[in-house]
Amino acid sequence: MNRSTLAAMVALGLLAGCGGLSSLNPFNWFGSSEEVTLTPEGGYALVDDNRPLVSQVTEMAVEPFPGGAIVRAVGLPPRQGWWDAELIPENDGRAVDGVLRFRFVVAAPRQPTREGTPMSREVSVGHYVSDHRLAGVRRIEVIGAQNARSSNR
């Protein structure tokens, strides 16, 4: 018997002998999985969204996408540096009287910024809407502080 065969037999014998010492047997290190909830006791606290509406909604489009559509909008805040833009669906994303509405919100800069050109202030955002949510929708609206834009089917 050569050395490599002997070494392999000794290694297999050691692994087989680890059955009684489960902490040494790598096949016993992890057990089966179990479901763990991340929800804290009493649930999550409601978070107030203090982001204001973008000053103006300058562009809005509904673009087909597999399984639904993407609502895309461009907004114009009053100064440069506005960030964390989002289209927030109203009514839990359900259409009311055939109209699906989104609020275009954006966070203010943390430090003073200059006004800049309109192009330098533009903020773009998008939101995916499934075919299921689009069923029965005749119009989609995006609401800003000074105006709203809509697209009809």
- Residue 12: per-residue pLDDT: 64
Q: What percent of the chain has pLDDT over 90?
A: 60
Q: How confident is the model at residue 2 (pLDDT cuts 50, 70, 90)?
A: confident
Is 74 within the bounds of a domain? Answer: yes
Is 77 within the bounds of a domain? Answer: yes
Which parts of the chain are beta strand (E)? 56-65, 68-76, 83-89, 99-107, 123-130, 139-143, 148-152
Q: How confident is the model at residue 38 (pLDDT cuts 50, 70, 90)?
A: low
Is 68 within the bounds of a domain? Answer: yes
When divided into structural domains, the chain yields a total of 2
Is 9 within the bounds of a domain? Answer: yes
Q: Check whether residue 19 and residue 64 sit in a common domain.
A: no
Q: 118 in helix, strand or coil? A: helix
State the residue range of the domain holding 85.
56-152
Q: Check whether residue 69 and residue 122 sit in a common domain.
A: yes
Q: Check whether residue 19 and residue 74 sit in a common domain.
A: no
Q: In whole angstroms, what is the distance from residue 28 CA to residue 35 CA? A: 20
Q: Answer yes or no: is pLDDT of 73 > 70.
A: yes
Q: Check whether residue 24 and residue 81 sit in a common domain.
A: no
What is the average pLDDT across 31-55? 72
Q: How confident is the model at residue 113 (pLDDT cuts 50, 70, 90)?
A: confident
Give me the chain's average pLDDT, please: 84
Q: Check whether residue 69 and residue 133 sit in a common domain.
A: yes
102, 127 contact by CB (below 8 A): yes
Q: Check whether residue 143 and residue 104 sit in a common domain.
A: yes
- Residue 150: per-residue pLDDT: 94
Is 38 within the bounds of a domain? Answer: no
- Residue 20: per-residue pLDDT: 55
- Residue 48: per-residue pLDDT: 72
Q: Check whether residue 69 and residue 19 sit in a common domain.
A: no
